[in-house]
Amino acid sequence: MTIPSDMKAHNRRVIEEFRASGGSAHGRSMLLLTTTGARTGREHTAPMMFIPHGADLLVVASNAGAPNHPDWYRNLVAHPEVVVEVNGEKYEATAVVPGDGERDQIFAGVAERYPFFADHQAKVTRTIPVVVLARKP
């Protein structure tokens, strides 16, 4: 996977494509996650891959194997109330970061299905977080 040189511009194009198509971009299962900035309090929207997990969705803060967590992850840790856009639907959710044992079990299942996440983990010393997006009632 090649990281674009201007990630913000790339994400803007993906978000536009996602919304124009009613919920897909680059032919992948994607969602848009809107978080509240940890420092700024402003809303930020990021496109990302998701994995169904029962009634919830999972997202993985791999940051393509970069040494630091992605900004969206730091934002949702500070403000776990998020907005999810997926499959033509938009709803509020709570982001839950599972504890170590549960995280390891979930990550193992995700990495088995999508081996590139195991490759990302092998590149870094940080533990790549998995986040459960639980729809609010």
**28-87: pLDDT as tens digits:** 678 999 999 999 999 999 999 999 999 999 999 999 999 999 999 999 999 999 999 998
What is residue 9's predicted lDDT score, i.e. its pLDDT? 81
Maximum Cα interatomic distance, the chain, rounded to a whole number of Å? 39
Q: Rounded to an integer, what distance in angstroms lies between the CA atom of residue 106 and that of residue 48?
A: 18
Q: Rounded to an integer, what distance in angstroms lies between the CA atom of residue 24 and that of residue 47?
A: 10
pLDDT band at 91 (very low <50, low <70, confident <90, very high): very high
pTM of the predicted model as reported, rounded to 2 decimal places: 0.87
Residue 4, pLDDT above cutoff 70: no
Give the position of tokens 């992948």. Answer: 28
